[in-house]
Amino acid sequence: MPMENDVVLIYVEDEPTSFARIEEIRPDVKKDWFIIKILMLQVPLQSVSWILKADYINGDPFYMGGKSVRMEKVVCPPDERDWEEDEPPGESEKQQETENNTTPPGGEVISFTRHRRLKK
């Protein structure tokens, strides 16, 4: 089930139409229904609230204005590179630079992974 702060892709008539971020999910006065507040990720930004059953929040289609609508949680696709756990990206290049005793012009490039390790 998508949760608050998740990004969803909204389909209308089985066509992807827009992305949105779930801002809030709270129970409605009707049993088993929820008020879902979403931020439409478009210009201009717009916030809307829908009253939906949990099944609809979980991706089952529902109808709005006579059109079939459904939401699908967006999941970041896996990275195409197969990085090894013990060697973050850029480490092998850094090792080669050290061995060749060269430094790229303008300073050293530090990967975010290495930067996080250095901060700890």
Domain residue ranges of the chain, discontinuous segments joined by +: 7-73, 84-120
Residues ≥6 apart with Cβ < 8 Å to 38: 8, 20, 21, 22, 23, 47, 48, 49, 50
Side by side, which strands form the sheet with 33-40? 46-53, 33-40, 15-27, 7-12, 67-73, 62-64
Predicted pLDDT of residue 1: 75
| Cα torsion angle, 55, 57, 62, 64, sign | positive
CA-to-CA distance for 12 and 98, rounded, in angstroms?
A: 54
**Spans of the chain below 50 pLDDT:** none
pTM over 0.85: no
